Chain A
Amino acid sequence: MTSPTAVIAEDEPLLAQALQSELSRAWPQLQVVATVGDGVSAVREALGRKPDVLFFDIRMPGMGGLEAAAQLADDWPAGEAFPALVFVTAYDQYAVQAFEAQAVDYVLKPVQPERLARTVARLKDQLARRQGDDQGLDAAVERLRHLLTAPPTPAAPLKVIQAGVGQGIRMVPVSEVIVFEAADKYVRVLTAAQEYLIRTPLKDLLPQLDPHEFWQVHRGTVVRASAIESVTRDEAGKLHLTLRGRREKLPVSRLYAHLFKAM
């Protein structure tokens, strides 16, 4: 059996170094194949090197650990064993609560040798059981889904989108919106006939939308449920949506695939 491999994603260089040296003591066989400082590189390295274990910091520039893991789950090739995920966080009481409830392993910074030893034991156990099946991915997706679904905040539902158009502001009733799509620093707001760009991030917009009317189907896509015409599965097993009144085909993330089941 080859030695297990790991990728560390941690934006603070000293902490990445410290984790690596603690790991080399607690689990000498583990080979750290890459250490990166942001979420985007973490996804890239993980996809490229297919490690057995991922240590993801929760707060990283570009993309946080949870979001990076979600993207990784989407892009992970079917049939390959999904890495065991360990989240690392300095202080985040909510994250800790969430992890405790969901039993994805987490480590609190500064990394304590005894705590890390327990993590290592758990990881070895998981790796041994994982041999040969790809249950790992489904389980990871299931846990991530819970971790990423923030508790609904009862904010007043948004009625109108104020989109800057030239020098003015166009008032777009939310009832006309079909899709919200994150695009770089902006969110594209699509109605049947028009497209607007707004600067409010999607994650700020989401809590203001009625979850019965609007479904999140991807990290960056929120769709009006009643505007979805059909859902198709491609050869790779991925789901795509077609909408009434729009041409676009929208990919559905693994995290949200459970929304679509024939009745």
Chain B
Amino acid sequence: MSAPPADRPLPLFPVVRIDPRAKLRHLLQTWLFCIAIAVLQYAFEPNKPFLPNLAFSVSIGSFSWAVVDLGRHFFPSSRETGWPDRLPGLVLVLAGIAAGYLGGTSLGDALCRTFGWYGEVAPVHSATDRRSALLITTMAGIVASYYFYSVSRGHYLERQMAEARRHADEARLKLLETQLEPHMLFNTLANLRALIAVDPPRAQRMLDHMIAYLRATLDASRATTHPLQVEFDRVRDYLELMAIRMGPRLSYELDLPQELAQHPVPTLLLQPLVENAIQHGLEPKVEGGRLTVQARSDGGELVVVVSDTGVGLSGPVAQGHGFGLTQVRERLTTLYGPAARLSLDPLPSAPGEGWGGDTHGAQVTIRLPLRTQ
């Protein structure tokens, strides 16, 4: 399916592209509907002739159809949804009804007179006749418009869903790609190879962490949530691998209060944040530093803070536009809407640590609704 890119701006005057086959289909559907109304009218008043009913009904329907079905393409929003939004949509339907009533009754009357469908005596239309014609036109116009509106809306939603599914697949693939970054993989393997020769038990432990890490990454696209404890375990696997690679340059601390351990969180939610902290914060820093992941509850919210004492914020990462952050943010919005938030800040210098306000580093804070189950 080749949907147009979502970020293309809509032109001021939309190019009206009308599919003649779809229009013909709509017209035929409208006529069928009109015939049904005429038959219904005839059933209620069998003493009146059928043909005028039909002539009036089809004429009114055709006028309304022309105005509404053709007119709706001249509104900007109709390009996406097939229908204009709100007020323009309402005005269009009212215009269709008015045109149907005024044009349709005149045409129907003219047809009946020309072809003699009234019979011997042409009727003089009473005010009551006109009122009931207007009522029928209005009701039928609204019903038919609603029907066509639902159909186009359905198509639109289907397209949207297909698009969303495509985006999700793309994001999942890209997530996998970043997680299994070749540089990380090959460096870890190189370390593993070195360890096998000098310290086999440690090599074995490293291999176990690596297996857990790879499994978590590959499984992440299947499950949607898991307990926070599991997320912390996966983060620990990754940090263990990095600690072996970076040696004394990396120290880390994970702090998960027992009462939050079983709270469900999206899978691999923290992973990209921890990887960011290592890749952009600590790895480039000559003396390395410390990484902390802390979870706590705060007034009905689960707060998780990932902080590092690395090189601090600069470049596109500083504005929070890195792939990892964008990705986490999008997932949070999809899952929790505005109830979840993510912020990226410079690490505030801790009082009494003697950094003299020169602390570099960054911290990412995630807030999620804490659901008690």
Contact = CB atoms under 8 A, between A and B. Distances in A.
Contacts of A37: 249, 286
Given A18-B194, A61-B284, A109 B246 contact: no
A201 interface: yes
A41 to B, nearest CB: 8
Main secondary structure of the interface of A (DSSP, over half): loop
Interface residues of B, number: 27
Contacts of A40: 286
Interface in A10-64: 11-15, 17-18, 21, 37-38, 40, 59, 61-62
Interface stretch (B29-37, B163-171, B180-188): B180-188
B314 A11 contact: no
Contacts of A234: none
B260 interface: no
Contacts, number: 69
B191 A12 contact: yes
Contacts of A12: 187, 190-191, 245-247
Nearest to B189: A110
Contacts of B314: 185, 199, 201
A199 B190 CA distance: 35
Contact of A61 (B186, B187, B190, B286): B286
Given A12-B246, A37-B249, A199-B314, A91 B191 contact: no
A61 B283 contact: yes
A213 interface: no
B198 interface: yes
Contacts of B190: 12, 15, 18, 90, 109-111
Interface residues of A, number: 25
B194 A14 contact: yes
B4 interface: no
B315 A201 contact: yes
B57 to A, nearest CB: 61
A200 interface: yes
B87 to A, nearest CB: 40
B186 A18 contact: no
A90 B186 contact: yes
B195 interface: yes
A111 B186 CA distance: 11
B245 A91 contact: no
A225 B182 CA distance: 40
Contacts of A111: 190
A18 B193 CA distance: 9
Nearest to B283: A61
B226 interface: no
A32 to B, nearest CB: 16
A19 to B, nearest CB: 9
B18 interface: no
Given A91-B185, A92-B183, A204-B315, A14 B191 contact: yes
A90 B195 CA distance: 16
Contacts of A201: 314-315
B197 interface: yes
Interface in A186-218: 199-201, 204
B341 interface: no
Contacts of B245: 12, 14
Contacts of B189: 110
B338 to A, nearest CB: 30
B182 A91 contact: yes
A14 B247 contact: yes
Interface of A: 11-15, 17-18, 21, 37-38, 40, 59, 61-62, 90-92, 109-111, 185, 199-201, 204
11 contacts: A14-B245, A18-B193, A38-B286, A40-B286, A61-B249, A61-B288, A62-B285, A91-B182, A91-B186, A110-B194, A201-B315
Interface of B: 182-183, 185-187, 189-191, 193-195, 197-198, 244-249, 283-286, 288, 314-315, 318
Closest 9 CB pairs of A and B: A18-B194, A110-B190, A13-B247, A91-B186, A109-B190, A110-B193, A90-B187, A90-B186, A62-B286
